[in-house]
Amino acid sequence: MAKLIEAPKGQVGRPSRSFTLDQTRALLDAAAASPLNAYVVLSLTTGIRTEEARVLRWDHVDLDGKPDADPPVPPSVAVWRSARQGGETKTPKSRRTSALPRTAVQALREHQKRQEEDRPAAGALWQDHGLVFCSTVGTPLDAANVRREFRKITEAAGLGEGWAPRDLRHAFVSLMSAGGVPVEEIARLAGHNRTATTELVYRHELRPVITTGAEVMDRILDSPMQ
Q: What does each C-alpha distance from 23 to 18, 156, 199, 225 come to in angstroms? A: 9, 12, 23, 12
Annotated catalytic residue 202: yes
Element (H, E) at 202: helix 195-202
User: What does the pLDDT look like over 58-112, one tens digit per residue?
Assistant: 999 999 989 898 888 889 888 877 655 444 545 555 677 888 889 999 999 999 9
- From 81, 111, 166, 169, active-site residue: 169
Residues 131, 89, 100, 158, CA torsion sign: negative
Alpha-carbon gap, residue 35 to 13, rounded angstroms: 28
Annotated catalytic residue 192: yes
- From 39, 81, 96, 202, active-site residue: 202
- From 49, 81, 96, 166, active-site residue: 49
Annotated catalytic residue 111: no
Alpha-carbon gap, residue 41 to 177, rounded angstroms: 18
User: What does the pLDDT look like over 87-98, one tens digit per residue?
Assistant: 454 555 567 788
Annotated catalytic residue 169: yes
Which structural domains are found in the chain, ordered by start?
A: 18-161 (1.10.443.10)
The arithmetic mean of pLDDT across residues 29-35, rounded, is 96
- From 54, 111, 166, 192, active-site residue: 192
